[in-house]
Amino acid sequence: EEITEQYNTLFDFDSDYGCLAYEVADDHSVVKKFETACTKLGYDMKLIDTFGGSDNNNFLRNGITGIVIACGMNQVHSCREFTHIDELIKCSNIVIKLLTE
C-alpha cells in the first residue's frame, strides 16, 4: 500500500481462507462426551490428527467446538472408497448416545 501511494497507483488485494486448521484439547468436554459414549457402548476408540478439512473447521472458526467422528471410511477419496454396514451402525449408535445422554 505504501509503494502504491508513493507512485500514485492502485492496490487491490483479496484473501480467503478455505480451511483453517484447528485442534480440540483431549480434555475438552466434547471429547470427553465422545469417549464416554464409546465406553458405554463398548467400542474401542482413539483420537487421531487428520490434517483434513470438514464442516467442523468452519464451526470452530465460528465458536462451535466439535470433533469429527470417523464413520467407517476406507480408502477415502479414491475410486475404491467403501464402508461396511456394521461400521455405519456403530457410528449411528454413537450419535444416538451423544444425543440422548
- pTM, rounded to two decimals: 0.76
13 pLDDT above the threshold of 80: yes
For 19-66, how does the pLDDT look when each residue is reduced to its tens digit (9 = 90+)?
Answer: 888 999 999 999 999 999 999 999 999 998 888 888 999 999 899 999
Question: Using the 8-state DSSP alphabet, how is residue 7 labeled?
Answer: T
Read out DSSP for 32-57?
Answer: HHHHHHHHHHT------------HHH
